[in-house]
Structure 1
């Protein structure tokens, strides 16, 4: 996993947490769920990169 991939995944995760927090604070379930989805996507990308790295070794 390249450093740029790690940074990108972390940015997506942090942005998702922020969206989730804003949605929860404002009572906007749509934004809250969108934040959770962004976090899940980040986790999946991170897992995919780890699998790629495992096969490279």
Structure 2
């Protein structure tokens, strides 16, 4: 899933390339990378949450 940081990053990177502004281009690349890392972290939290719910359900059904 693409988040707004990745979209903003790609936009800044493109503007930087078109205008020749290396600083803006690099900012866009960094922003896009941040967005990707943020997605991975969120995916990890969701996986942990799902696993925790599975364990809780198993415990509830044993009673």
Does 1 or 2 have the higher relative contact order (CA < 8 Å, sep 6+)?
1
Where in structure 2 are there 5+ consecutive unaligned residues?
51-63
Larger radius of gyration: 2
**CA RMSD of the aligned region, Å?**
1.4
Runs of 4+ in 1 over 4 A off after TM superposition: none
Superposition TM-score, scaled by structure 2 size: 0.73
Count of aligned positions: 50
Q: With the length of structure 1 as denominator, give the TM-score of the two structures.
A: 0.81
